[in-house]
Chains A and B, each alone.
Chain A
């Protein structure tokens, strides 16, 4: 019974390159959330997706960032033309129902640590 899987665990990119982060939710979970954690800060919500739908992307920068959760395959967070300020840990979480109510806590993956040189 695998948990939330994220890959790669570490990603190094040069400025201007593209970063692709993958997240496979827990089996049976159709709700995926992406968070970003900067050093010495808490997690910041980026986007909430269900299969083939973006439900809430209010936390995502308007440019260069995009997310998808296709019918088949993992959720992808894509960062185009990365800059040094994109260096952070990116966490994915999944839940069986929307939100975080009782018996519906969000389960987190181990994160992808993105370093932009």
Chain B
């Protein structure tokens, strides 16, 4: 039962363009969402988060949008840079998840020069 889904295993974007990574969830009890970035042979690194009371959170080149009615969130990176090439994980926490983070399977982002 996948409560957090990232349907695109990989995404290729030209350097300087916008990267849009998508994430869908099924549990309406989720109230906090996070994006983590992971390089090979390293642990995930926190990138940006959003609470369910907001629909947008911005931090530099990174913006996360939340559409609660659609149970969908997206991460926008603009402009994309070569160092952004990594696997991006969407994770969610909810009132019924007892502090667990529920993770999507990840999307591998490749930035082409």
Which residues of A does B touch, CB under 8 Å? 4, 6, 33, 35, 40-45, 48, 55-56, 58-59, 91, 93, 98-102, 105-111
Q: Interface with A: B44-52, B65-73, B75-83, which one?
A: B44-52
Q: 1/0 per position for B18-50, CB-CB distance to A under 8 A? A: 000000000000001010100001111110010
Residues on the A chain within 8 Å of B7, using CB: none
- Per DSSP, chain A at the interface is loop
Residues on the A chain within 8 Å of B89, using CB: 42-43
Q: How far is the CA of A28 from the CA of B105 in the complex (A)?
A: 30
Smallest CB separation, B63 vs chain A (Å) = 17
How big is the B interface, by class?
Answer: 20 to 34
Residues on the A chain within 8 Å of B91, using CB: 43, 100
Q: How far is the CA of A59 from the CA of B49 in the complex (A)?
A: 24
Most buried by A among B6, B93, B103, B104: B103
State the 7 A-B residue pairs at the shortest beta-carbon distance, nearest first.
Answer: A108-B43, A42-B103, A99-B99, A105-B46, A45-B100, A43-B103, A42-B105
B102 at the binding interface (Cβ < 8 Å): yes
B43: contacting residue among A42, A48, A105, A110, CB under 8 A: A110
Q: List 6 extra interface pairs beyond A42-B4, A91-B44, CB under 8 A.
A: A42-B6, A42-B89, A43-B101, A48-B99, A56-B98, A56-B100
Smallest CB separation, B87 vs chain A (Å) = 10
Residues on the A chain within 8 Å of B106, using CB: 42
The residue on A at minimum CB distance from B4 is: A42
Q: How far is the CA of A33 from the CA of B101 in the complex (A)?
A: 10
Q: How far is the CA of A93 from the CA of B42 in the complex (A)?
A: 12
